[in-house]
Structure 1
Amino acid sequence: MVDKVMYPQPILPVGTSRPEAKPQKPDQGPQVPFKDLLEAQIASGGVKFSSHAQQRMEVRNIRLTGAELAKISSAVDKAAQKGARDSLIMMNNLAFVVSVKNKTVITAMDDVSMKEHVFTNIDSAVIV
């Protein structure tokens, strides 16, 4: 049988306490700008953008506001209610091809890049 050896607590002068470890802050990682967090929150409730769509939006200088993102999300929800799979969403002078099932924008076009006005691989269109 093994007897446990008990180590007594150190004797300290009256009025002092044991030195305690300082509470450490959890690792917060890299700081993310508030704007990016807000946009991520808006997008998480609505549609996502594929890397291809993000590249197209950057090249074509397409910037969306929170209200416009909400309109696109609403249009995707309406298309889903009708059973759409891949939909064209027209908003102002912009066009978005969206995978309704994944709620993901596949590509984005402005009026200049829609010259031919031919869209393929879609089964529905929503005009906002």
Structure 2
Amino acid sequence: MDPRIQSLHRPLPIPKKEPLNQKPNVPFQQFLQEAKEIKVSKHAMERIRDRKIEISEQAWSKIGEKMTEANKKGVDQSLVVLNEATLVVSSKNRTVVTAMDRSETQSQIFTNINGTIFVNE
């Protein structure tokens, strides 16, 4: 047999499996909690503060749940409509991109949104 052909039939080395990027010694519940956290961009934080928008802990929790659900359905950018505020969020990155008071949204056009989440507080 031609040595060039024989060298093509040698088994390839099997790469070692690398461990998942998990924090060592972190309880599973804490790991899940950290995965559910919502980040708020600097821009969104300024908007929330300047417009005196208040969002309850319960509403944040519901927003987090819905962002996870939206991401599973392939929704990347969502408009979150609350009673008193509207948020543009990245479900993929779990980040609030911007925030506005509901009165500001009366004549707005939202682009690059492929999902809407309604949260009744």
Q: Above 0.5 in TM-score?
A: yes
Residue 75, structure 1, aligned to residue 66, structure 2: yes
The two structures have a TM-score, normalised by structure 2, of 0.65
Which residue is equivalent to 2:17? Answer: none
State whether residues 60 and 109 of structure 1, in contact with CA within 8 Å, keep that contact through their aligned partners in structure 2.
yes
State whether residues 43 and 98 of structure 2, in contact with CA within 8 Å, keep that contact through their aligned partners in structure 1.
yes
1:5-30 deviation per Cα after TM superposition (whole angstroms, max 9, x unaligned) = xxxxxxxxxxxxxxxxxxxxxxxxxx
Counterpart among 95, 115, 119 of residue 104 in structure 1: 95
Give structure 1 stretches of 5+ with no counterpart: 1-41
Q: How many residues align?
A: 87
State whether residues 53 and 84 of structure 2, in contact with CA within 8 Å, keep that contact through their aligned partners in structure 1.
no
SS at match of 1:112: helix
The CA deviation at 1:62 is: 0.7
The CA deviation at 1:69 is: 0.8
Counterpart among 22, 43, 50 of residue 41 in structure 2: 50
Q: Which has the higher contact order (CA 8 A, sep 6+)?
A: 2
Cα distance in 2 for partners of 1:57, 1:43 equals 23
For the aligned residues, what is the CA RMSD? Answer: 1.8
Identity %: 36
Which residue is equivalent to 2:111? Answer: 120
Could you list the structure 1 runs, at least 4 aligned residues long, displaced by more than 6 angstroms after superposition.
Answer: none
Cα distance in 2 for partners of 1:75, 1:108 equals 17
The CA deviation at 1:44 is: 6.9
The CA deviation at 1:46 is: 2.3
SS at match of 2:105: coil
Residue 85, structure 1, aligned to residue 85, structure 2: no
Give structure 2 stretches of 5+ with no counterpart: 1-32
1:25-72 deviation per Cα after TM superposition (whole angstroms, max 9, x unaligned) = xxxxxxxxxxxxxxxxx8873211000000000111012221111011
